[in-house]
Amino acid sequence: MIGCLKQSPILLQFLTFFGFFFGFSALYVVGIQSLTPTITGQSLDALQRTLDPNFVGYLKIIQLAYTIIAFLVPAAIFAYLWQPYPMSYLGLKLPSKAILWILALLAMFGVLPLSGALGEWNQTWQVPQSVKDMEALAEKLLGVMLKMPTIKDLFINLILVAIIPAIGEELFFRGVLQRLIINATGKVWLSIFITAVIFSAIHMEILAFVPRVLLGFALGAIYVISGNLWLAIGAHVLNNGLQVVMLYLFQHGIVKEDPQGDSHIEWYYVALSIPVTIGLFWALKQKSPAGAMITRENKSTVGDVDEIGKDGNL
SS (H, E, C) 135-185: HHHHHHHHHHHCCCCCHHHHHHHHHHHHHHHHHHHHHHHHHHHHHHHHHHH
Q: What is the pLDDT of residue 1?
A: 63
Q: In 3-state terms, what secondary structure has residue 3? A: coil
Q: What is the pLDDT of residue 261?
A: 73
Residue 145: pLDDT above 90? no
**Cβ partners under 8 Å of residue 76, min gap 6:** 171
Q: For the chain, report the end-to-end CA distance as a whole number of angstroms.
A: 22
- Mean of per-residue pLDDT scores for the chain: 89
Structure confidence by residue, pLDDT tens digits, 27-36: 999 999 999 8
**Cβ partners under 8 Å of residue 153, min gap 6:** 147, 248
Structure confidence by residue, pLDDT tens digits, 292-310: 889 887 644 444 433 333 4
Q: In 3-state terms, what secondary structure has residue 85? A: coil
Distance CA 17, CA 203 (A): 18
Distance CA 42, CA 59 (A): 12
Structure confidence by residue, pLDDT tens digits, 236-266: 999 999 999 999 999 998 988 888 777 788 8
Q: Which of 40-54, 103-117, 147-161, 175-189 has the lowest mean pLDDT?
A: 40-54
The domain ranges of the chain are 95-311
Distance CA 169, CA 154 (A): 21
Residue 198: pLDDT above 90? yes
